Amino acid sequence: MLQRLFLIFVGVYLAGATCWVLWSARVRDNGSTIQLLNAACDPTRELWREINTRFAEHMQRDRGETVAIRQSHGGSSSQARAVIDGLDADVVTLALWSDTNAIHKAGLIEESWEDHLPNRSLPFVSTIVFVVRKGNPKGIKDWPDLAKPDVKVITPNPKTSGNGKWSLLAAYGSVILRGGSEADAEQFLEKLFGSVPVLDTSARAATMTFSQKKIGDVHLTWENEAFLEVAEAKGELEIIRPAISVLAEPHVAVVTANARRKGTFAAAEAYMRFTYTPEAQDLIAKHHYRPTDPEAWERHKDEFGTLEMFDVAKLTPGMNNPGDIWAELNRRFFSEGALFDSIYTRLHGGGKAK
Amino acid sequence: MQNDSAAVAPAADGNSAVDLASFQPRSQARKDPRWVRYLLVGTTYLVIGLLVAVPLAHVFFQAFSAGVGAYFQKLLGDKDTLHAIFLTLMVSPVAVAMNVVFGIAAAWAIARFEFPGRALLVSLIDLPMSISPVVAGLVFMLVLGLQSSLGQWLREHGWQIIFAPPGLVLATAFITFPLVARELVPLLEAEGADEEMAALSLGANGWAMFWRVTLPNLRWGLLYGIILCNARAMGEFGAVHVVSGRISGQTDTLPLRVEKLFQEYDIQGAFAAASVLTLVAILTLIGKSLLERKVHQG
Amino acid sequence: MRTITRRVLPGFGLTLGLSVTYLSLLVLIPLTACVVKSLDLTLEEFMRAAWSPRARAAYWLTFECALIAALINIVLGLVVSWTLVRYKFPFKTLIDALVDVPLALPTAVTGLVYASLYVKGGWLGQFLTPLGIEVAYTKLGIVLVLIFTGFPFVVRSVQPVLAELDSDEEEAAAVMGSSRWHTFRHVIFPHLLPPLLSGFTLAFARGVGEYGSVVFISSNMPFKTEIAAVLIVSRLEEFAYREAAAVAVVMLGFSFVLLVLISLAERWSQPHAK
């Protein structure tokens, strides 16, 4: 009778679902298909989608191996946290050195990882530019314009997002490198963050806030993200390049502990090395990241505007290796109680928020 | 002069046990002045309209704003969205089933027996209702992630719980934990043990009594609790946001997929996925009102 | 007799054992782990993490918004349950069904829709923004979304009690010349106080914990529009597990207090239940 049939159906369904859940609790070797997980920072979604397809074709054609790559995206520091917590990534393609290094410090990436891949593990670099509304009504041309009282700035939270950190460093550096003192730079940052109406957790969220929700007058973002945003906006937005900005270096790395444990090390290596091939470098340029291969750069450099990019090492004079540089940058700007925290507390006060 | 009253179970978590058709002020004494009536009814329309009806309409409007064809394309043509639907359909029922087994067991123990600590058990069951979903996710992160020795042991032995469907099931089960039990306890208490005692005295053993007497009596209340639990489980966002790892095509449930699509500029896609969830919610409500009548006639 | 000694009905050991085991595994042990993790911090560190100005601002915002929303829900819930019980009007059944929508609708969908509706160019935002009323990304938006999620609790608490109210008292009052308002205030309302309180507490508890809908509509700015749940997620994403656990423990403490209040309120509102 109908009720009995229904109960049987439910029973079978539940049994099936439970089996599936239990089955997915095992890390398994997928037979012939190699499964790779790329834990990436937020704005690189479109880039990796294309590279992954090409890489899979390449592996199939040249090595006869079937590779399936999955992506996880989120704020750079969030993703680092997830990998440390157990997200079983084979490679990480995050936004800055210290996030990748945090994974190394947790024992998941091997020593001297930076030297493991060409060009200090940088298949591409980028920078921070401005996106403004059509016609640039507030006349924003360079960093000092961001401190104007009627200008609202959109940038993600430096605590969670690579974009956020790079924006802060770029803003700070813009003052220092033009001869300003630390006090001047701090004041500038305070004015800047005082005009941020919404603090999103990741780059893409900030992009949505600026372009979809139409909040803010200027958006500080990755150059590649800016291109994408402007294209999606169909004429409503434009890119403004300040004269000077930070050289943003998003390192890539194989998560050696995970890859070796899962037996995917060779494939993961091949995956990362693939990003340096001319084919991939062209894709990288197509998505508006600056390729690091000199020949590729020659081919594409006209697609990028000119601006002077400074290395963050300039903000920590006297230090040479990235470990020291980033430790100092974190200590000064991003850690608990450092500059960003104290600016925020000064701006919004200790005590009751009203 | 007296009100007709349908049997009423006064639970404050969503039961509407009122037979709407029969309550009218019978006498002049209970009639409110006309302007009061108009004001209140008007306010009701306004409140429900603005709060509920407009948002519901908006979901479907946005979802279909690119046309019906595009709508189905977004849902059925997108591999990751299909997987998200599949994942939600796997994770939620399992979590609900776990809570049903527990709910029945707990209701039986609480409703039929006196024992020290009974009041404590009742309070503890209610605990997840007042905990933020994010805290629920955090808590499982701490226990099962690589931060803990248990998490490391699991990883070494090839188990993945966090950042994989089992973790999603656990977080979802935690959040929806009290929903079935809370339905069943008052029901069992109201039913009384007479029929069960009768069955026992006629020679039935425990299981026979359970299957043939207890469960049929609970039938509608159980179904009701399952529906509520399922709706909450399918819609859970906060807890799974923390434990999911957000791997597209692998650990994105449908609510997470909505967020992801929104962030990838795919407004229609996000609303299309949201419309599926909204449809589930509407079906839940229909099921709920159909069952309500059964529960309170039962 | 509602409870029978275990010697008569079977299954006590099995059901109690199953319940306690499941409860421990799913709820108690994870919660304890959270508390233990936060104990990793020294008292001073704990205070700094869980009681920093930013955290206090978050708690304050969370409770303030949840409180305002729950209070508004008392009024709205009372109005709606009154009309649903006492009056006949078109679409009444539909309205009654719609009351439950917030309970069934996923929080992410709520957040997405409300953000979309109230943003500058949105269906409703386009009318409000010229009036200077900003809803999206402000505290007002948070309160609005919490009103939505807490709404059914009050209505569904009050409705059954209102429906079951004896008409004798009202009629007596009318006979004695009491005005309608007077009758309401002194005869009817006292009966409604317990379910109102019960519904209020449930709505409040739900509002305090709500994450999914708020995170879409809030600008999540520390000290201004960051609710406690968002703070916890933020700390998590900064690798600060113990600090996140510390804030979570404080929230758990509040939850526990709320829980006690809820059970007291429920017991008061159903004096005839066992």
C223, C242 contact by CB (below 8 A): no
Name the amino acid, one letter, at C47.
M
Q: Confirm whether B3 is domain-assigned.
A: no
Residues B117, B19 share a domain = no
The mean of the pLDDT values for chain B is 81
Report for A296-305, C138-147, C219-228: range of highest mean pLDDT: C138-147
Would residue B248 count as lying in a domain? yes
- How far apart CA B256 and CA B274 sit, in angstroms, is 10
**B156 shares its domain with B53:** no
Q: How far apart are CA B10 and CA C161, in angstroms?
A: 7
pLDDT averaged over chain A?
Answer: 88
Q: Output the pLDDT for position B2.
A: 35
Q: Please say whether the beta carbons of A101 and A326 come within 8 A.
A: yes
Instruction: Tell me the mean pLDDT in the region B97-120.
Output: 88
Categorize the per-residue pLDDT at B15 as very low, low, confident or very high, splitting at 50, 70 and 90. very low
Chain A residues with CB-CB distance to C53 below 8 A: 345, 349-351
Same structural domain, B247 and B145? yes
B24 pLDDT higher than 70: no
Provide the percentage of residues in chain C whose pLDDT is more than 70: 95
For residues A196 and A37, give the distance between their C-alpha atoms in angstroms, rounded to a whole number. Answer: 34
Chain-chain contact of B265 with A22 (C-beta, under 8 angstroms): no
Q: Which residues fall within 8 angstroms of residue C217, CB to CB, at 6 or more apart?
A: C111, C114, C115, C118, C135, C136, C137, C141, C142, C144, C145
Is B1 inside a domain boundary? no
Angle at B53 between CA B49 and CA B58, to 5 degrees: 125
The model's pLDDT over B37-71, given as tens digits with 9 standing for 90+, comes to 889 999 999 999 999 999 999 999 988 887 888 88
Cβ C83–B41 below 8 Å, yes or no? Answer: yes
Instruction: Using alpha carbons, list the distances in angstroms from residue B255 to B244, B262, C99.
Output: 12, 11, 22
A262 pLDDT higher than 50: yes
> Are residues B200 and B285 both part of a single domain?
yes
Side chain identity, residue A130: F
Which residues on C lie below 8 Å from B264 (Cβ)? none
Do residue B146 and residue B286 come from a single domain? yes
Same domain, B33 and B154: no
- The average pLDDT across A271-283 equals 94
Q: Do A213 and C220 touch (CB under 8 A)?
A: no
Q: Which residues of B touch A73 (CB under 8 A)?
A: 246, 248
Determine contact, residues C196/C162, Cβ cutoff 8 Å.
no
Q: Does A7 touch chain B (CB under 8 A)?
A: no
Sign of CA dihedral B214, B216, B222, B224: negative
Residue B134 lies in a domain: yes
What's the full length of chain B, in residues?
298
pLDDT at residue B111 tops 90: no
pLDDT category of residue B191 using cuts at 50, 70 and 90:
confident
Residues B127 and B231 in one domain: yes
Specify the 3-state DSSP secondary structure of A74.
strand
Query: Quick one: pLDDT at residue B29?
Result: 57
Whether residue C73 lies within 8 A of chain B, CB to CB, comes out as no
Give the whole-angstrom CA distance, residue A117 versus residue A106: 20
Nearest to C222 among A84, A336, A348 (CB): A348
CATH number at residue B158: 1.10.3720.10
Nearest to B63 by CA among B47, B74, B52: B74
Residue B105 has pLDDT above 60, yes or no: yes
A18 C-beta neighbours (distance < 10 Å), count: 16
How many of the other CB atoms lie within 10 Å of CB of B193?
20
Alpha helices in chain B (DSSP H): 34-48, 54-63, 68-76, 79-112, 118-126, 133-144, 149-156, 165-191, 194-201, 206-209, 215-235, 238-243, 254-263, 267-297
pLDDT at B215: 84
Nearest to A160 among C57, C119, C237 (CB): C237
pLDDT at B16: 47
Cα C212-C217-C222 angle, rounded to 5 deg: 90
Name the C residues in 25-54 with CB < 8 Å from any A CB. 53-54
Instruction: Return the pLDDT at A215.
Output: 84
The pLDDT score that the predictor gives to residue B11 is 43
Q: What is the pLDDT of residue B1?
A: 34
Q: Where are the domains of chain C?
A: 32-272
pLDDT of res. B246: 67
Whole-number pLDDT of residue C127:
87
Domain co-membership, B158 together with B25: no
- DSSP H/E element including A153: strand A153-154
Range of the domain at B34: 8-63
Is the CB of residue A84 less than 8 Å from the CB of residue A102? Answer: yes
Most confident of the following: A122-126, A346-350, B32-36, B225-229: A122-126
Going by pLDDT thresholds of 50, 70 and 90, the confidence category of residue B27 is: low
Best mean pLDDT range from B35-49, B201-215, C172-186 = B35-49
Residue B284 lies inside a defined structural domain of this protein = yes
Amino acid at B80: D
pLDDT at B21 > cutoff 60: no
For chain B, give the percent of residues with pLDDT over 90: 17
Q: Please state the pTM of the whole predicted model.
A: 0.82
Residues B34 and B123 in one domain: no
Residue B238 covered by a domain: yes
What is the C-alpha to C-alpha distance for residues C171 and C106, in angstroms, rounded to an integer? 44
The confidence band for B295, taking pLDDT boundaries of 50, 70 and 90, is: low
Closest CA to A141 of A213, A222, A218: A218
pLDDT at B294 over 80: no
Residue C178: burial class (beta carbons within 10 Å; 0-12, 13-18, 19+) = middle
Architecture of domain C32-272: Orthogonal Bundle (1.10)
Q: Which residues of C touch B269 (CB under 8 A)?
A: none
Higher pLDDT, A257 or A42: A257
Report the alpha-carbon distance of residue A153 to residue C190 in Å, rounded: 53
A15 touches chain B (CB under 8 A): no
> Which one-letter amino acid corresponds to residue A49?
R
Amino acid sitting at position B62: Q
Check pLDDT > 50 for residue B78: yes
CB atoms within 10 A of CB A266: 12
Residue contact A25–B89, C-beta within 8 A: no
Q: With 70 as the cut, is the pLDDT of residue C101 above it?
A: yes
Mutation target among C100, C144, C151 for the B interface, most CBs of B within 10 A: C100
B185 and B85 fall within a common domain: yes
Residues counted in chain A = 354
Cβ–Cβ below 8 Å for C100 and B14: yes
Among all residues of chain A, which has the CA nearest to that of B151? A86
Give the other-Cβ count within 10 Å of A54's Cβ: 15
Q: What is the DSSP letter of B3?
A: P
Q: What is the mean pLDDT of residues A181-186?
A: 92
Residues B159, A70: C-beta atoms closer than 8 Å = no
**Which residues have CB under 8 Å from C52's CB, separation 6+?**
none
Q: What is d(CA B204, CA C272) in angstroms, rounded to the nearest whole number?
A: 34
User: Counting one residue from B and one from C, how many pairs have CB atoms under 8 Å apart?
Assistant: 369
Q: Is the pLDDT of residue A242 over 50?
A: yes
Residues 6+ apart with CB under 8 A from C92: B20, C84
* Cβ <8 Å between A25 and B164: yes
Establish if C121 touches chain A: CB-CB under 8 angstroms.
yes
Q: Complex ipTM above 0.85? A: no
Last residue of a domain, one of B20, B35, B63: B63
Question: pLDDT exceeding 70 applies to what percent of chain B?
Answer: 87
Which of these three, B17, B37, B63, is where a domain ends?
B63
Give residue A259's pLDDT: 92
pLDDT at B28: 60
Instruction: Dump pLDDT digits (tens) for C24-74.
Output: 888 888 888 888 888 877 888 888 888 888 889 899 999 999 999 999 999
Domain boundary among B16, B42, B63: B63
- The pLDDT assigned to A291 comes to 93
Residues B24 and B95 in one domain: no
Nearest-angstrom CA–CA distance, B54 and B59: 9
| pLDDT tens digit sequence for B133-157 | 888 888 888 888 877 888 888 888 8
Query: In chain A, what residues touch B248 (CB-CB under 8 Å)?
Result: 70-73
* Most distant pair of Cα atoms in chain B: their distance: 76
Q: Choosing among B39, B237, B259, B266, which should be mutated to test the C contact, i.e. which has the most C CBs within 10 A? A: B237
The verdict on residue B275 lying in a domain is yes
Residues A164 and A172 sit within 8 Å (Cβ to Cβ): no
Whether B288 and B228 have beta carbons less than 8 Å apart is answered as yes
Three-state secondary structure call for residue A73: strand
Residues B38, B123 within the same domain: no
* Neighbouring chains to A with at least 3 Cβ pairs closer than 8 Å: B, C
**What are A115-149's pLDDT values in tens digits?**
889 999 999 999 999 999 999 999 999 999 999 98
Q: What DSSP letter does each residue of A32-55 carry, written as one string?
A: TEEEEEEEEEGGGHHHHHHHHHHH
Per-residue pLDDT, averaged over A197-220, amounts to: 86
pLDDT tens digits for range A46-92: 899 999 999 999 999 988 889 999 898 888 888 888 888 888 899 99
From residue A100, give the alpha-carbon distance in Å to each of A106, A162, C240, C242, C260: 10, 11, 17, 21, 45
